[in-house]
Amino acid sequence: MSVLQTASIGLQKRFGRQRLRKILLGSIPFVVLLVMWQMNTAMEWLPPVYIPPIASIWEAIYTLSEGCADAGAVLSMQYECLFTNHILSSLGRVGLSLVIGIPSGIALGVLAGMSRRFAHALEPVGVFANAISGIAWVPLAIVWFGTGWLTTLFILLNTVFWLIFFNTLLGVRGVPRVYENSVMTMGGGRWAIISQVYIPGALPSIVTGVRMSMGFGWRALIAAEMIGGDSGLGFMIFVSAAEYKIEEVFLGVLVIAIMWMITDRLLLIPLEKWTIQRWGMVWRPD
């Protein structure tokens, strides 16, 4: 047996045939793109001002981190560590908006889902706010908070909160009444019903809300950073473009996409798998 065959069988055993096939198929478009990109550099179809060579993007990381001493410097966000600073400040805002937005969105969503009065009070303003959520707020936010992290956080929270709120609300309303009744006949009070019926019952919808808010949130964040930020990946792209550092623009875009894929694959999909799929609450095609 050749080395290649042995390696292939080893991989199949490790990941499983189906999954391996899925990964391979999914990576084909990326490989094609990379090959085309590299060929462009070699054949000089389009000049590097438009499409920089792959290697220069790699170099941009070094340029942007010049003077950055070590991991300690990265974590303490010293001024020299430009590249990681931009990533960390974008990530930090996403994290902060989730830490604030998820609990408050769920809390108010549950309240509105279980109480007609709350729903009547909150739904119209929610629809109103949702209509202008995203980057439409940016000019106003700049007037209110100036350029900087408060503006971008505001934009992000505005997206995250309302999506989670509405998804929780709909999720709670969709929980079959009989579950609530059965807990009540066992002597369960309001809190038992909220924590043992409404929240787990609404979880499929809440997870959808979190996924949506991450997707929309990322986009809104990048846009907000471009216009109203003073750090972050969106800001980096914008400044680099203005200075014609095309490789830094490419780098920023790539990092955004990769970070989104990592959160989706490593965080959100496993979360779904261990909760709502385990409980048999989602429809699975295979």
188 part of the interface to another protein, by CB under 8 A: yes
Q: Which residues of 234-266 are buried (b: 16+ CB within 10 A; e: fewer)?
A: bbbbbbbeeeebbbbbbbbeebbeebeeebeee
280 part of the interface to another protein, by CB under 8 A: yes
Per the CB < 8 A criterion, the answer to whether 94 and 264 are in contact is: no
Nearest-approach distance from CB 183 to another protein, in angstroms: 7
Stretch that binds another protein, among 69-77, 96-104, 112-120, 182-190 (CB under 8 A): 182-190
Contacts of another protein in 40-99 (CB under 8 A): none
Amino acid identity at 192 = A
Q: Of these, 105, 201, 229, 252, which contacts another protein (CB under 8 A)?
A: 201
Tokens of 188: 């369960």
Tokens of 221: 């964040």
Amino acid identity at 253 = V
Size of the site for another protein (CB under 8 A): 22
Per the CB < 8 A criterion, the answer to whether 155 and 137 are in contact is: yes
Residue 107: Cβ-neighbour burial (10 angstroms; 0-12, 13-18, 19+): middle
Print the binding letters for residues 260-279 with another protein: x by CB under 8 A, - otherwise.
---------------x--xx
Nearest-approach distance from CB 190 to another protein, in angstroms: 12
Q: Of these, 28, 43, 186, 242, which contacts another protein (CB under 8 A)?
A: 186
Q: Of these, 71, 182, 267, 274, which contacts another protein (CB under 8 A)?
A: 182
Please tell me the distance from the alpha carbon of residue 265 to that of residue 255, in angstroms, as a whole number. 15
Backbone angles phi, psi at 241, to 5 degrees: -65, -40
Per the CB < 8 A criterion, the answer to whether 229 and 151 are in contact is: yes
Residue 191: partners with Cβ closer than 8 Å, 6 or more residues away = none
Per the CB < 8 A criterion, the answer to whether 183 and 196 are in contact is: yes
130 part of the interface to another protein, by CB under 8 A: no
Stretch that binds another protein, among 24-32, 58-66, 143-151, 184-192 (CB under 8 A): 184-192
Per the CB < 8 A criterion, the answer to whether 48 and 246 are in contact is: yes
Q: Of these, 4, 42, 49, 178, which contacts another protein (CB under 8 A)?
A: 178
Print the binding letters for residues 136-175 with another protein: x by CB under 8 A, - otherwise.
----------------------------------------
Nearest-approach distance from CB 172 to another protein, in angstroms: 14
Q: Of these, 181, 190, 264, 266, which contacts another protein (CB under 8 A)?
A: 181
Q: Of these, 96, 100, 150, 184, which contacts another protein (CB under 8 A)?
A: 184
Task: Kindly list the residues in this chain that would bind another protein in the complex (CB under 8 A).
Answer: 176, 178-179, 181-188, 192, 196-197, 200-201, 203, 275, 278-281
